[in-house]
Amino acid sequence: MVSPKTTRNLKLEGEVNTPVSVGGVVFESGDYIIADQDGIYKFNHLNYKILMERAIEKEKTEKSRRLVNY
């Protein structure tokens, strides 16, 4: 990712590949994020398969619920 914004004007140093915490959740370099109106999935190379399977199943369940409600 490239950003034209910088902290140089504030005389602050930045870091690359450093974990950050957002809302009490730690994000590390290499993490992937998928978000929709229902929530956010955070995953990395260690747990992506199971989380992707859960996300796909959740989406299938939601689609079937929407079809029943119409």
Please give the Cα distance from 37 to 50 (Å, whole number): 21
pLDDT digits (tens, 9 = 90+) for 11-30: 777 778 889 898 898 989 88
User: Is the pLDDT reported for residue 4 higher than 80?
Assistant: no
pLDDT tens track for 32-67: 888 888 788 788 888 888 878 888 898 888 888 877
pLDDT on residue 19: 92
Phi and psi at 11, nearest 5°, equal: 60, 35
Q: Are 43 and 31 in contact (CB under 8 A)?
A: yes
Domain ranges in the chain?
19-69
